[in-house]
Amino acid sequence: MSKPALPFLPFALPDIGEEEIAEVVDTLRNGWITTGPKARRFELDFAEFLGDTSLQCIAVNSATAGLHLALEALGIGPGDEVITTTHTFTSTAEVVRYLGADVRLVDIDPATLNIDPRAVEAAITPRTKAIMPVHYAGLAADMKTIHAIARRHRLQVVEDAAHALPTTSQGRLVGTLPSAATVFSFYANKTITTAEGGMLVTGDADLARRARVMRLHGMNRDAFDRFTATVPSWYYEIVAPGFKYNLTDIAAALGLHQLRRARAFAEQRAAIAARFDQAFADLPLLLPPKAPPGDLHPWHLYVIRLADNAPIGRDAFIEALFQQGIGCSVHYIPLHLHPYWRDRYALSPTQFPHSQRAFERMVSLPLYTRMGETEVERVIQAVRQVLQA
């Protein structure tokens, strides 16, 4: 009798507990399901998590929204340029185009897969107004060097921290560094989730004030403030053509409890990453870079790169794992390969040799907190089987 096939192991699954479920049910029952008291509490809890309650935390419906709001509040617009990495998801760059500004894409450091500060400095022009580093896979970019470049050229820094909760850079949590703004993601596969959602964090009161207004239609008063007042307060004014970027209380209900589990999640992810490192050490692979001693890497992604002497190519490797019931992904197809970015800025792979080479060899393996020892071992054995064939 043939052995029954194992169930498919997806690339990612959210880890939702009973406390999250109960909080969502409470939200549905209490009558306030859009932006309200739980979204406000989530913002306050997030600042406390970062260890600095003076920070302004603004809950939004996606990290994309947060990046857009941050750049808009900084006055980025037509004629300006923003430098970011080609090795990212399109949202990092597209928010610049929302504002009519232009993107300058630069290559990565092949060791860290993060934006290369030397490439950043070489790309600066009189039109450059901001730098947007991405903390790839959860590993902090070289923020000390990037901030020094920004100070030297009087540029703003907006961190795309979609992968980076909780990440540290030189002992400081990402979100507390001297950037104009930092934006986190709570998408379904991130280190904590609200299904969809994000958080804009800033120490700049003026930036925060503008972002809060633009988050909800350019209205000078939040709906929550107007509808919970103890005296008639129906009046509001539209002071700018804003957006619809608010986070609902249903989503925030998830976030309240996910945030409390964030450090435990990071420890579980790190343990799986260490298990993979040990199991794959003798294979023809380049394993993911680790955080410097004393810093924290939350392991949002575990990205391997096939070595030149691997017996199989990247695409065939992914297909072979799929045939064994293991889901994988690729992070990312670099922006210079996508028709919009390629054609608008006349880009070619030769301009980004490190990103291009990494892309051609990289695979993101499943790594999430719902994986038990059986699932981790399945991934290990599948990878070893394919690469030792």
Smallest Cα–Cα separation from 119: which of 153, 84, 89? 84
| Under 8 Å between Cβ of 257 and 20 | yes
Domain 18-260 - what CATH class? alpha beta
pLDDT score, position 1: 43
Q: Residue 142: which residues within 8 A CB-CB, separation 6 or more?
A: 109, 112, 114, 117
Domain ranges of the chain: 18-260, 262-388
244 annotated active-site: no
Q: Write down the catalytic residue from 144, 190, 244, 290.
A: 190
pLDDT tens, position by position, 252-287: 999 999 999 999 999 999 999 999 999 999 999 999
389: confidence class by pLDDT, cuts 50, 70, 90: confident
Tell me the pTM: 0.96
- What gap in Å lies between CA 151 and CA 65, rounded to an integer? 26
Q: Which CATH superfamily is domain 262-388 in?
A: Aspartate Aminotransferase, domain 1 (3.90.1150.10)
- Mean pLDDT throughout 288-309? 98
Query: In the predicted model, what is the mean pLDDT of the chain?
Result: 96
Whether the bond between 98 and the residue before it is cis, its omega within 30 degrees of 0, is no
Amino acid at 54: S
Query: What pLDDT was estimated at residue 308?
Result: 97
